[in-house]
Amino acid sequence: MVIFITGISSGFGLETARLLAQEGHTVYGTVRRTVEPLPKVHYLQVDVRDQQAVNDAVQQIVEKEGRIDVLINNAGMGIGGPLEFATEEEIRLQMDTNFMGLVHCVDAVLPYMRQQKSGKIIALSSIGGLMGLPFQGFYSASKFAIEGYCEALRLETKSFGIQVVVLRPGDFATGFTGSRKKVADEAALQAYPIYKTAIAKVEHDENGGLKPVVLARKISKIIKKKNPRHGYVVASLEQKLSVLLKRILPAKWFARILGSYYRV
């Protein structure tokens, strides 16, 4: 299969590109900086926030391969801090990367997938796309947006034989933790003294989380499935339980549980 993955310089994207190439797929991946190349992976220097750059990359793939069978929307970033103190620049960076980057890629591949009457679109959301996480509010907002977008996209494109699958990872030990943009404004820290404790808990859980190859293997299985589910939670048993509780408990009860966990 011809597979287009965004954000393969590290973490989920790196491990997924490595595994899929080893399995014999033709893999194209985007990066924003020069990296040590993986064997049998084709690199494209693209910022997914740039629609024209994404269009050019997709056209390049189609001209060479004749088709795109799978799009894996992986590129993303996170900002941490009190919602009140996030700057407009930070908010736009968060939403433009995580959500608009996805939209740009889908818009670029859809004409070809519609023409070939087939295709899989795999979008990385998060457990944070199912529940608003304290001091990661705009990250959650970007992932909630992905959830709603993909729900609509799935209905609009099913008549073309296109499948839309949403992945919701829990805590994973990737470079995401170290690259998170965090509010360092002293006024924010004074106004929200619980922020330091909450973000420390987040980082502790991430650093002790699953290895990214676990998600890569799940993606490989989804690609092979004839009829994959609409969505998958890939997380520890505890985090899968939290998703279940979110669905079945009254909102106030779940909010108390989540607040207690993050000590807010």
The CATH number of the domain holding residue 258 is 3.40.50.720
**CB contact at 8 A, 234 and 121:** no
Write the pLDDT tens digit of every residue in 202-216.
888 887 888 999 999
Tell me the catalytic residues: 9, 125, 139, 143
Which pLDDT value is given to residue 45?
96
Task: Give the Å distances, CA to CA, from 33 to 42, 53, 65.
Answer: 14, 14, 24
d(CA 69, CA 47): 21
pLDDT tens by residue, 142-197: 999 999 999 999 999 999 999 999 999 998 887 666 667 777 678 888 899 888 88
What is the structure's pLDDT at 174? 76
Task: Look at residue 196 in the predicted model and tell me its pLDDT.
Answer: 84
Q: Cα separation of 246 and 255, whole Å?
A: 9
**Structural domain boundaries enclosing 164:** 2-262
State residue 17's pLDDT score. Answer: 98
Write down the pLDDT at residue 177. Answer: 61
User: pLDDT below 70 — which residues of the chain?
Assistant: 175-179, 184
pLDDT of residue 184: 65
Structurally, the chain folds into a number of domains equal to 1
